[in-house]
Amino acid sequence: MAGLFLKVFLVGVSSLGCLYPFMDFCFRGETRGQKPNFVIILADDMGWGDLGANWAETKDTANLDKLAAEGMRFVDFHAAASTCSPSRASLLTGRLGLRNGVTHNFAVTSVGGLPLNETTLAEVLQRAGYITGMIGKWHLGHHGSFHPNFRGFDYYFGIPYSHDMGCTDTPGYNYPPCPACPRRHQPSRNLERDCYSDVALPLYENLNIVEQPVNLSGLARKYAEKATQFIQQARASGRPFLLYVGLAHMHVPLSRPQRSAGPWDRRPYAAGLREMDRLVGQIKDKVDRTAKNNTFLWFTGDNGPWAQKCELAGSVGPFLGSWQSRQGGSPAKQTTWEGGHRVPALAYWPGRVPTNVTSTALLSVLDIFPTVVALAGASLPGDRHFDGLDASEVLFGGAPAGHRVLFHPNSGAAGEDGALETVRLERYKAFYVTGGAKACDGSVGPEQHHEPPLIFNLDDDAAEAAPLERGSAEYQRVLPKVREALRGVLRDIADDHISRADYTRDPSVTPCCNPQRTACRCQAV
């Protein structure tokens, strides 16, 4: 059915007459107005501390440091959730998981994905005349109409989910390590080590699997090539563009370099940072050469470091989640501690975004959708509510504040998936439920419910080490404000247009280019 839809779409475009070839599609030439281009780059499992405290220059991220110096860096910027699919769904919809239906991750065998009645950022911009491309990790459904090509993206090149969700011939660094794909037999998946040996990792170009298993060592180079190619051809078409790049970095497995030896093998995480940094630098260089003054580039992350991967995980910086660490488990990815969702972020737009500015505004990945829609001169869908805000005043006017309140959804460590049981109110943070994800030592922090909630003052206690005394005047002053904010958002969600994601699993929908061969192996084209 999906293939039929694409065929009809191509025939329809062809009948209009193509002036410019573009990847697998054709577009009519249009006179470029003043609409800006957008490049959104999303790192995976990257820690706030990976770029150095306060964005100090580091030897591993020279290009990102340059971006920070030439743009605006944010030190209080948050993922919309602290795990993959919910974070990405919120980026593309501007809505929390309780609204858009995506509250936990989709699987290799997932039948569904981001609900089809949710409107993506790409769909809004497509209707506004934009050419749209997505490169990298999607993780919002791959089967049928959930594929990126049917969610607003004219072009797609990448892996449909996390790149540890399938075996490869180049396994890379993981903890514990996973084996390469089998070649002559069909073993079952090793559930204990969470390694996939029954299906190889697929690489898609639009609806076609072009390589299975993908060569992870060459993936960053391919992503850079496709991204720069997209920008070049989109510019040649005369139309504005949206490019969304979902990096594989810094999620495990960390790729092994094509060259051998040296410090790369001794410090794989630092090597991965350098590889990611070069990729971002190549994209920025292409933007600067072709559309520098009319392109807004936004770099951020999907959640904090995956601490159970030990030395293969990133740094949370000063956001240690010390209260949770004392209880056990990790206070990083999958949790609502600061290390789980406070992420690096920067904005770059020469002539519009001021240079070398550090913003302390409280902002979120949720804000990307409304900000981009506003800058594109498009309109938000009118039949639903949004959790993000238009951050233009922060970006261009130097406004010191963003959100007054943010709500952090449970993301796998404790509580019901997607439930809003952590509230950020200005400098305060309240926890109605706490729990730690799996730590490097294998421990998992117990789920604990708090009524009244634990409240931390982040200005005085960034490490979230000691909650305010419940009997203190400060606690008693903040508590009713927290409760009213939470009641307000839950009332708003109850009155909203709510979607429900289909999390059904069926092995038959597993991406496979050649089911007759072990692990679905096929030749690269």
Q: How many domains does the chain have?
A: 1
Per-residue pLDDT averaged across 136-164, rounded?
98
Residue 458 placed within a domain:
no
Residue 56 reports pLDDT greater than 50: yes
Per-residue pLDDT averaged across 450-474, rounded?
98
Residue 23 reports pLDDT greater than 60: no
Residue 31 reports pLDDT greater than 50: no
Question: Rounded to the nearest 5°, which phi and psi values hold at 347?
Answer: -125, 140
Confidence of residue 29 (pLDDT cuts 50, 70, 90): very low
Per-residue pLDDT averaged across 366-393, rounded?
96
Q: Which two tokens stand for residue 441?
A: 């030592």
Per-residue pLDDT averaged across 45-54, rounded?
81
Residue 238 placed within a domain:
yes
Which secondary-structure segment (H or E) carries 227? helix 219-237
DSSP state of 190: B
Question: Which domain covers residue 58, as residue numbers?
Answer: 37-179+196-256+265-403+498-509
Residue 5 placed within a domain:
no
- Mean pLDDT across the chain: 90
Alpha helices in 292-425 (DSSP H): 322-327, 338-341, 368-375, 392-397
pTM over 0.85: yes
Residue 158 placed within a domain:
yes
CA–CA–CA angle 294, 298, 301 (5° rounding): 165
321-379 confidence digits (pLDDT tens)? 999 999 999 999 999 999 999 999 999 999 999 999 999 999 999 999 999 999 999 99
Query: Which positions are catalytic?
Result: 84, 139
**Which residue would you say has higher pLDDT here, 23 or 137?**
137
Amino acid in the structure at residue 317? G
Per-residue pLDDT averaged across 224-253, rounded?
97
Residue 480 placed within a domain:
no
CATH number at residue 131: 3.40.720.10
63-98 confidence digits (pLDDT tens)? 999 999 999 999 999 999 999 999 999 999 999 999
**Which residue would you say has higher pLDDT here, 442 or 190?**
442
Residue 7 placed within a domain:
no
Residue 10 placed within a domain:
no
| Beta strands, E only, 11-51 | 20-22, 25-27, 37-43
Does residue 247 contact residue 192 with C-beta atoms inside 8 Å?
A: no
161-189 confidence digits (pLDDT tens)? 999 999 999 899 999 999 999 987 655 54
261-310 confidence digits (pLDDT tens)? 444 455 899 999 999 999 999 999 999 999 999 999 999 999 999 999 99
Residue 130 placed within a domain:
yes
